[in-house]
Amino acid sequence: MKRDLYEQEHEDFRASAAGFVRTAVAPHWEQWEEDGIIDRAAWTAAGRLGLLGVAVPEELGGGGVADFRYRTVLIEELCAIGANSFNASLSVQDDLVMPYLVDLGTDEQRTTWLPQLCRGEAIGALALTEPGAGSDLRGIRTTARRSGSGWRLDGAKTFITNGYLADVVVVLARVEPAVDAGAYALFVVPADRPGFGRGRKLDKLGLRANDTAELVFDDVALRDEDLLGIEGRGLAHVMERLPRERMSIAATSAAASAAALDWTRRYCFERSAFGRPIGDFQATRFTLAEIETDVDAATSLLDRAIGLLNAGELTAVDAAKVKYWISDLHQRVVDRCLQLHGGYGYMREYPIARSYADARIQPIYGGTNEIMKDIIGRDIAARAASR
């Protein structure tokens, strides 16, 4: 289906993004997968080309254009070659860490970190999840206690994307004692603060080049100036920014599904069985037809949601619908595409095998799809009750 989402400036940006992926990512990403880490040189290369922080104000080192379409262009180009790990890393930087700093940061926090993050010279992480608290963030145990004119931060976080390489981490903590505004707060924590530590770099099923780590905070001294946003409103600040995170996940699932279809379509007409391409068999053609239609439907839903996001009209319920449906569809697409590859689809030398493993996290992070359905269901119940 022909898309009408992009304009010429986005296609110009795509040319730059495609060149970056071709020269700075494609020759290296398989080695990154083996090593379990992405070379920092790729981050700085992205920064030099202006691919990071497009929505960040120009005076803070960004592009000054709050248009999510630029993000989806880069997502599409990375997913097209199966570089899903690097895409996940950049999504945390661009769709989570930088928006928190732009929206909530003090002048000092913004001028200290945003130019470095936009240049790729600093890597950021968002530390919400804990060993005993995933989707239920009210259960976190990391605490920030008042101490003189500052704070003391104690606790542990897990499943933190970019955690191993991060230079700065936005941390959600429980405030003790709680204030009238609430019991949670966000802090900007530089990784060189005494007491900040990294645990294991986690061994994951997929996204293997992406450094996902455990983080430890052992009596880390923080200043009042390290508070991000309003004391007590940390959890509210997180909830307000979840729709953009969920859109990033949905955009990745749509792009990765399209890439899987493209690899499979080509494979089906290059691979022969019983004297003819397997794409000439009716069963294969029907499967490809179903997958292509599903991908078109997902792309149409995503494009509509991007328009709402850019207009400031995307609700939390809308974002939950888009994230749940497209990430669930992603699972079905890569499964069927792998099946059409036969035994070769199970080999990691084929991108569909790696994409299959990478895809499995999509319905889990950013809030599990069960949580998404609960958000949607509660909205349905509220609307029914108001009639």
Active site residues: 245
DSSP 196: E
Amino acid at 1: M
Q: Which residues 6+ apart lie within 8 Å of 195 measured at CB?
A: 153, 217, 218, 219, 220, 221
Backbone angles phi, psi at 218, to 5 degrees: -115, 90
CB 212 within 8 A of CB 202: yes
Q: What does the alpha-carbon distance between residue 138 and residue 207 come to, in Å, rounded to a whole number?
A: 28
Q: Which pairing describes strands 168-179 and 143-147: parallel, antiparallel, or unpaired? A: parallel
Q: What helix, strand, coil percent values describe the chain, rounded to 5?
A: 55, 20, 25
What are the tokens at 303? 């494009």
Beta strand 150-161 pairing with 143-147 = antiparallel
- Torsion, Cα 284 290 294 300, to 10 degrees, reads 110
3-state secondary structure of 357: helix
375 Cβ contact list (under 8 Å, min separation 6): 316, 317, 320, 367
Handedness of CA 87, 88, 89, 95 (dihedral sign): positive
